[in-house]
Amino acid sequence: MSTETMPEITRYNYGASFSSCPENGRDTLILHEGCVPYLSFRAFDGLPGIQAAFSTRLGGVSKGFRSSMDLGFHEALDTTPKEHEELARAASENFRRMGETLGIQPEQMVYSQQTHTVNILTVTGHHKGMGIVKARDFTDVDGLVTGEPGICLVTAFADCNPVLFADRTGKAVGAAHAGWKGTVGGIAGKMADRLNREFGCRREDLIVQIGPGICGRCYEVREDTARYFRDAYPESELPCILKKKDEEHYLLNLFAANYFNCIHAGIPAENIYISDLCTFENPGLLFSHRASHGKRGILCAFIMIRK
């Protein structure tokens, strides 16, 4: 067991209010309480060769408000060279620990470079280790796909939704970072299109996990954000996605919006699983940008085809 205290966890069936398969919004995550705790996904149970995980904030070496499993290198932060070196050293050790726990070497991982786009990169052996043990040769990428076994796709989060894809026949996997911009831009649908076009994945063979993020009870936005969703979704879906809180604020449900994005992309409802954990409601287990007022580390999603 980790020496850190395992916090109490708040779970909720976030899919029940909008999914035609509400059971896919209950108990979708399994918490593994080892030296490095992590979450796995029932969505991918029984898919031969598919491995996927989501980190918690426990089991690492980072200090302060980033304690302890911070998986961000924080390149954009205004830090001194010494501070940046310390952050990078801690992140490298945390990736080593996560990799050891999952049986994946950091040299097998490819780490996205996220800027809230809908850009998707097809990952090959050329990219192995980029963003973790060597420099990236790509920028502005919020979605990763690969059909090559032995490559682990890594995406970063602290309230935004991970949207993970696996072809049930083992052809390919994908990982997307879906904040509000990526969600309203339809990155989940673009991922399904890319997997179909490049790897021949049939939409009915795609299994999707919408992972932990800030939920529709906690994510408060203003009109300047809400209007994008009113323009992007039909009237029949908006009550599930956007609720008026007061004269100036709305509650935004990215779980629901990403679910509908997958439906629009032709993925069957029974293939779509919605996380039952909200980052904001579980700050002891997961980093949340909103709950911490920006003082937090980074969580990561991992998905790969095993050799």
pLDDT tens digit string along 186-219? 999 999 999 999 999 999 999 999 999 999 999 9
Residue 254's pLDDT is: 98
pLDDT for residue 2:
54
Place of tokens 């952050």: 87
Contact between 87 and 76 under an 8 Å Cβ cutoff? The reply is no
CB hemisphere CA count around 11 (13 angstroms): 14
Provide the sign of the torsion angle of the four alpha carbons 1, 5, 11, 162, taken in this order: negative
pLDDT for position 75: 83
pLDDT value of position 3: 65
Q: What would the pLDDT profile of 46-85 be if each residue is shown by its tens digit?
A: 899 999 999 999 999 999 999 999 999 988 788 888 999 9
Domains and CATH numbers, the chain: 22-305 (3.60.140.10)
- Cβ neighbour number for residue 296 with a 10 Å cutoff: 22
Q: How confident is the model at residue 18 (pLDDT cuts 50, 70, 90)?
A: confident
**pLDDT value for 1:** 42
